[in-house]
A and B are shown apart, each in its own frame.
Chain A
Amino acid sequence: MNKFSDQEIIDSVLKGNESDYSIIIDRYKNKAFSLLKRMLKNDFDAEEVLQDSFLKAYNSLRNFKGEAKFSTWFYKIVYNTALTKLSSKKRKIESEMSSVEDYYNLESDLDSVHIEKKDLSEFLQSIVNKLPERYAAIISMFYLNDMSIEEISEVMQISVSNVKVMLYRSRISLRDLILKNKLAGEII
């Protein structure tokens, strides 16, 4: 069953083979969990939100018309559930993605991070986990979930240019942090 497409599995679930939904769960749980962990900064919340998201997706499966990819549709549920969780926890959510203030927040957030001079990929791994929610979500979706800018814009319900701006800012901030800490001195 693992070689079947998402749509084929969904059709099977809708025909009454509900146990096939476990294939969908296995297919997406780790990537979605990684995304949620970076957004919510907490394993317990990430697992809880992921469970909610899978249940919501299961109950709305009939509404999935196949116009977009299942992954995009599912990540939209995951992302919105995470935002609801964040707002319920009264955490700070950046409201204006393209504002100058937001960029300064991102820079100062990263400046305050304690830097351990491990290898570069370890450093990036730890620093991405500390990015503000939306930036972390974009980095995860783009680099880990192999999603296109257009798919990310659909999931986050923001414009393609906004996604690009946020992606560029994340990369630049990470680069400046590396340069500042002379982490890549030998490589460059």
Chain B
Amino acid sequence: MNITDEILNKYLDGELAADEILLVKKALQASEELQKRFNTLKLVHDNLFSLREDELSPAFTESVMSKITRKKFTVPKQQKYFIISIAAFITVLCLVVFGFSISAIISSSPASSESLDVLDTFAVLSSSLIDFIQQLFTGKGLSIIGSIFSLIIIISGYFFFEMQKRSKADLGNGHHI
């Protein structure tokens, strides 16, 4: 039997059958050269078990953990844009309502305000404002405001639901980071 390096490796790993082991043992006893080849192979095998492990500092663990935590509390870019756009929309809406109220108050204030003193002007303006607000929240005005806010809530709800769904899917697929 020709004892190849592959057979020596298998003998070393205990992967040979009983009769093959016997043959290898006989061959090893018979040949000094083969013995040298096998002993050196065994020496390599034994010494490789004492390979040193490289060490990383504890700061490495902290660094990975901080990245995990930071990512968890960071608002994703798309979500950020969505929040900004909703905030901008609400701000514009408030400005329009505010501007409209001011213009309504001014237009309903008395033309000959020069003849009134400051207190009278203030009283007139306040009553105009109250009238305007009353108008806004009764009948047609109320239904317009209600419709606008319902629309905002529906749109926000839809986007919020979509975002939740996407972030859950991303977390599941491991695409988050």
Q: Which residues of A contact B (CB under 8 A)?
A: 18-19, 21-22, 25-26, 29-31, 33-34, 37, 47, 50-51, 54-56, 58-60, 62-63, 120-121, 124-125, 128, 139-140, 142-144, 164, 167-168, 171-172, 174-175, 178-179, 184, 187-188
Contact = CB atoms under 8 A, between A and B. Distances in A.
A51 B37 CA distance: 42
B47 interface: yes
Contacts of A188: 36, 39-40, 43
A128 B61 contact: no
A184 B36 CA distance: 10
Nearest to B62: A22
B77 to A, nearest CB: 17
B53 interface: yes
Interface string B8-47: 0100000000000000000000000000110111011101
Contact of B41 (A50, A120, A175): A175
Given A21-B68, A30-B56, A59 B48 contact: no
B52 A55 contact: no
Nearest to A18: B68
Contacts of A139: 48, 51
Contacts of A125: 51-52
Contact of B64 (A55, A142, A143): A55
B6 A168 contact: yes
A19 B41 CA distance: 45
